[in-house]
Structures are given as C-alpha cells and as structure tokens.
Amino acid sequence: MASTINERVWQMDCQSPEIPENTELLDGYGDPKAKFQFTVPPPCMAEPREITIPGTKEKQAKWDSPEQKEFIKQEQQRCYTDGYWCWIHGVLTWLPPWYYFFLNYWRVPSAREDGRLEYRDAQRRVLLYLWNVLKFTDDFGVCYLKGRRNFATAIGHAIGYIEATRGRNRKVGLSSSEKDLSEENYLEMMADPIKEMPLWFRPNVEVQAERVLFRDGKRSRDINVMTDDLNSDITMKALTKRGFDGRLLHFLFGDESGKWKKVDVVKWIGRQIKVMTSMT
C-alpha cells in the first residue's frame, strides 16, 4: 500500500499524512456502504469528578481519570494535528483535523436534529487543499469561491476557533462585508457553538459581544491566582478600510469578500500580510 493518499484538488496534487499500518482496524473497514461515523464519547465522560477551586466556594468539574484523559488526548490530536482515518463507502479516507472537529464538535444552524452536520466529501476536499497549501507551500492563504449552502462560513469560523486555541497568545480575526452580517455570523457561528461545546474539550473561555477571550473571566483578573489560561482571542470586525493588522494575526477569516464595498484593496491586503485563509 502507498505511504500516502494522493488526490488532485483543483490545480494541486494533494496528499494525506502517512497511512496507518493496520487499516483493517479503522472505522468502516469491510463495509462498502459504510458512512462517516460520528465519534461517541465513552460513558465515563458523563461522570466528571467535582472539586472545589482553592480559595473559593466554586465547584469545578474535572475529567482526570486515566480513561477520560486518554479519550480527551485522542480527540485533541484528531482535531489539532492528526485528523481522522476511516473507510467511507469502501474507500480509505483521511479527514483533515479542521473537518473532523467541525463535524463532531461545532454546532451551527441548519444542522441535523442532534446539532451535527452531514459529512460531505466536497467539504473534505476543500479542507484537504487548504491543509496542503499551508503545509507544503509558502502561500499566505486561500481565496475560495464558495457556493450557496455549502457551510463555508461556518467552517471558516470553526477553523478560527482551532487556530486560536492551538497555543498560547494567539490572535484570530473574523471579518465580513458589513456590521449586521458580521454580528450575525459571530453570534450563530462562533459564540453559540463555543457555548455548546463539551466542557471537557474547551479551555477557559469568556464570550463577549464582539470578542472571545480564552481565559477565566473571573480568576484571570486576580493577579494572586495562577491560571492555565491560553490568553488567546478571537475578534470580530465589520470590514473597514484598513481591516486588521495582519502582523498581529495568526489567522484571518474574511467572509463574502465579493460583497465588500468602499475598500482600498491594496491597503487592506498590505495589512493582512500574515493571513492564512480568506474565503470569498
């Protein structure tokens, strides 16, 4: 068997990471009708240990048993680094980390009754292309001409969350064509999905009207309390003439740029010099 899977997506020959040694152990093996299987947390994840935060009367849930820690580690690796291998309709398939996270943990409007979205191979291929651009080229990002109802805006916001929480002191920008749309997208596709996320998965977070701060809103303001906060943030702005200062960003998602008006493209692009992706 080849060491990687190679797919032609638009003008690029894209490749997956190295194929696992024993593919017979992967979900869907041997079933030509197998569909993508959502991850179901083991029963132990519903039974956290409750502790009292030192120096306070506040209670906090902890998932720190060996089984719980192993599952959390597995999911973090799948969402941030490794992606997910499985068989879909008899075909060995790799889902980029962003897409595995989006399907399993990002709840947005127009989803199924359980709050999840259906697997779409076209979405996987778009994110495979983006993953290859970032991993194997020197390009700053991707402009993607999206279609109606393909959830590109929701996926862009989900990637923004992953890139903000990938490490400490990371900054992410969200931008849309005008203020009302920016606020609507931020609420439905960033603020609400974060609130719906399992507590065992997300770091300390404070969701504000136009900004997400990855810190404990109460304790991080007390200089006498040590926290493990990421101190990363996600900021929403309606498109302005100058936009974000790209030198300070680790990721920018610019939505529906075909509708942007009254923008000096040269100045705007110049300030977004370190952006990773822009979807049109």
- Mean pLDDT (10-residue bins), the chain, 280 residues: 88 96 96 96 96 84 96 97 98 98 90 80 96 90 77 92 95 84 89 95 92 75 55 82 69 77 56 44
HSE toward the beta carbon, residue 134, CA cutoff 13 A: 20
Total Cβ atoms within 10 A of residue 168: 11
Spatial separation of the C-alpha atoms in residues 187 and 196, rounded to whole Å: 12
Q: Please name the residues in contact with 259: beta carbons below 8 A apart, sequence gap of 6 or more.
A: 177, 178
H-only helix segments in 34-187: 66-77, 97-105, 121-136, 152-164, 179-186
Q: Distance (Å, rounded) from C-alpha 133 to C-alpha 66? A: 37
pLDDT at 101: 98
User: Model pTM?
Assistant: 0.88
Predicted local distance difference test score (pLDDT) of residue 181: 80
C-alpha to C-alpha distances, 97 to 55, 71, 104, 124, 141, nearest whole angstrom: 38, 16, 11, 10, 17
pLDDT for 224: 40
Distance, in Å, from the CA atom of 163 to the CA atom of 230, rounded to the nearest integer, reads 12
Q: 156 with 253: CB under 8 angstroms?
A: yes
Local structure of residue 168 (DSSP, 8 states): T
Taking alpha carbons only, the member of 220, 189, 187 closest to residue 203 is 220
Residue-level pLDDT at 240: 55
Asked if 163 and 134 touch (Cβ cutoff 8 Å), the reply is: no
What pLDDT was estimated at residue 75?
Answer: 98
What region, left, alpha or beta, does residue 122 occupy, with left being phi > 0 and alpha being psi -120 to 50 degrees?
Answer: alpha
Q: How many CB atoms lie within 10 A of CB 274?
A: 16
pLDDT of residue 220: 43
